Amino acid sequence: MSDDVFPWLEVQDYFPFPSPDSWEEEIVGVGGNLSPGLLISAYAQGIFPWFNEGEEILWWSLDPRFILYPKNLRVSKSMKKVLKSGRFTLSADRNFPAVMDNCSAISRKGEDGTWISQDMKDAYTRLHDLGFAHSVEVYNGDALVGGLYGVSLGNCFFGESMFALEANASKTALIAITLWLEQQGFAFVDCQQHTDHLGALGAIDVPRSDFLAELQQALQTPTSRGNWGKLYKDFPASDSWLSLTAAV
C-alpha cells in the first residue's frame, strides 16, 4: 500500500486486507494512509495501525489478542473503595482531543517517545467526529485527571490508549466503560496487546483465529454511531456501576 498512490478512503469505502489464512506474521500491511475508510476497514478485519512517528504506517494483527470480556472484569476491594469515595466524576465524548493529547504525553515503560503522532490525533479525531471513536474522561473537580479512547464497531470496543494523572484514574475509566458496555450488550473490549495492568482487571490472551471469529459475529450488531455523551446522557450509571459504587 504505497502512500503516494493509495487513495483516500471515506467511511463508505472498504479495503480488503489479505485473507487471514495468509497471515503468518503479525504485521499484515505497510503504508497506505489514515483515512476514515481505511481505518474502519482495518478494525473490521481485526487490524490496527501502530508505528513510530516518521515511519511508514504498519498494520498489525496480533496473535494472540488481549481481550477483556465484560463478565471477566475484576475489581479489587481497594478499587471499589476508590469508586465509592466519589472522588472522580466521569463523562463520555466530552473532550476527545484532550484525552488523546494526554495519552500522547504520558511516558510509558519501554517506550521512547510516543506512537500517538499528530497524524494519529488528526485521524482519530476525524473518526470521533464521524461517530466511531469515543473517549471516557475522568475528572477530579474541574481537572481532567484520566481517561481513555478507542473505536466502536458493532458490539465491540477497540481500546487504543489511556492515561492517568492521578492514581487509579485510568482504571476508573476502564471499569466504568466495561460495565457500561456490558449493559449495552457489547461482546468484548479489545485491549490489543498483553499488559499486566489490564491482566489484573481480567483481560486474557485469545488466539487470533478465535478473536477474528468473535469479531465477525460482533459486527452483525449495528454500530452505535454518534457522540456517546449525547446519546447516553446517564453514562456511566449502568446497574452494575451503581451496584459496584455502592459496595464495600
pLDDT the model gives residue 109: 55
Higher-scoring residue by pLDDT: 167, 21: 167
> Above pLDDT 90, what percent of the chain?
86
pLDDT at 236 over 50: yes
3-state secondary structure the chain: CCCCCCCCCCCCCCCCCCCHHHCCCCEEEECCCCCHHHHHHHHHCCCEECCCCCCCCEEECCCCEEEECHHHCCCCHHHHHHHHHCCCEEEECCCHHHHHHHHHHCCCCCCCCCCCCHHHHHHHHHHHHCCCEEEEEEEECCEEEEEEEEEEECCEEEEEEEEECCCCHHHHHHHHHHHHHHHCCCCEEEEECCCHHHHCCCCEEECHHHHHHHHHHHCCCCCCCCCHHHHCCCCCCCHHHHHHHHCC
CATH number of this structure's domain 66-246 = 3.40.630.70
Band of the pLDDT at 21, cuts 50, 70, 90?
confident
Summarised one tens digit per residue, pLDDT across range 147-175 is 999 999 999 999 999 999 999 999 999 99
Band of the pLDDT at 113, cuts 50, 70, 90?
very low
Average pLDDT over residues 88-107: 95
Lowest mean pLDDT among 33-37, 113-117, 119-123: 113-117
* Structural domain boundaries in the chain: 66-246
